[in-house]
């Protein structure tokens, strides 16, 4: 999982275009991009899109972003889309691991009702959209076997705290949002799931977008969300380990395999220890994934 592309659930034209974007995951949206008056019609469109795309041989993973647990809309969202068997559900405005557990219970009931495999529907929460959620980021570890990744959001958080902006003039995040980003990164790795960076809304700023992707990979994110199909190739390129990185990782793993029980080995004039081995294993896991 490298690229996750948002697509409005009430636009069949955009859904069709997104399916050919090369994204690893389509985030078919029933929340912010769909007006309240269009929710009911959008549910049917999303169900039909998931059913159609699931029949394709080469397809992205299909996740549906439903409305929040306290919105009064999530039950109807799940009732509509779960019979189509999406690969996963994105939960917006998640306050803690308890919210993931609540969603998991709802999914279990609907999987049983639709004859779907128990536990087959995964969950990705958006974990920083409310100020209070930042204090519960450590609760996602062990919350559910359905947890596949964790991401963060800056736009709803800005509204929640009354921030005038979440970015400086040079495009970098202000301190409160840098903190939220870092905590979400640690929370994802603490829960041993994919760490997914948030969207870059200035989709015409190619240089800024590339720089943010590279910074996210540098810091430990393994994927990034997109709001436009043109962003997908950049994300895929940045978050695919280079041939050089893969070759180095294989050398490290092979060296430790050849010397079991050794804590440190010498390679290219440098000392390589167990943390380097874990990092190398992560690189190879991303290639296999």
Asked whether the predicted pLDDT for residue 282 surpasses 80, the reply is no
The CA-based diameter of the chain, rounded to the nearest angstrom, is 65
CB atoms within 10 A of CB 242: 10
Domains located in the chain, CATH noted: 3-239 (3.20.20.60), 243-288 (no CATH)
Element (H or E) spanning 6, and its range? strand 3-8
If phi > 0 it is left, if psi is from -120 to 50 it is alpha, else beta; for residue 22 that is left
Is the predicted pLDDT of residue 203 greater than 90, yes or no? no
Is the CB of residue 99 less than 8 Å from the CB of residue 91? yes
pTM confidence score: 0.89
**pLDDT > 90? residue 130:** yes
pLDDT for position 250: 84
Average pLDDT, integer, range 146-174 = 96
111 φ, ψ (degrees, to nearest 5): -60, -45
């Amino acid at each position: 999982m490298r690229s996750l592309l948002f697509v409005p659930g009430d636009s069949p034209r955009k859904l069709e275009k997104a399916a050919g974007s090369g994204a690893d995951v389509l985030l078919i949206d029933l929340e912010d991009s769909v007006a309240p008056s269009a929710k009911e019609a959008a549910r049917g469109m999303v169900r039909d899109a998931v059913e159609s795309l699931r029949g394709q041989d080469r397809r992205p993973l299909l996740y549906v972003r439903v409305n929040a647990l306290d919105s009064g809309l999530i039950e109807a969202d799940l009732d509509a889309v779960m019979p189509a068997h999406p690969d996963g559900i994105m939960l917006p405005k998640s306050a803690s691991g308890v919210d993931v557990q609540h969603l998991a219970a709802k999914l279990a009931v609907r999987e049983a009702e639709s004859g779907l495999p128990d536990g087959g529907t995964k969950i990705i929460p958006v974990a920083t959209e409310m100020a209070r959620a930042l204090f519960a980021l450590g609760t996602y570890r062990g919350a559910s076997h359905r947890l596949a990744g964790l991401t963060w959001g800056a736009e709803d958080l800005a509204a929640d705290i009354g921030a005038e902006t979440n970015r400086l003039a040079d495009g970098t995040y202000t301190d409160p949002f840098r903190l939220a980003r870092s905590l979400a990164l640690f929370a994802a790795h603490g829960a041993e799931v994919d760490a997914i960076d948030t969207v870059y809304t200035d989709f015409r700023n190619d240089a800024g977008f590339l720089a943010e992707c590279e910074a996210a990979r540098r810091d430990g994110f393994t994927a990034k969300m997109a709001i436009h199909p043109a962003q997908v190739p950049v994300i895929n390129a940045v978050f695919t380990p280079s041939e050089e990185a893969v070759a180095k990782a294989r050398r490290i793993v092979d060296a430790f395999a050849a010397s079991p029980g050794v804590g440190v080995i010498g390679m290219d004039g440098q000392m390589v220890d167990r943390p380097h081995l874990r990092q190398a294993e992560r690189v190879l896991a991303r290639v296999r994934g």
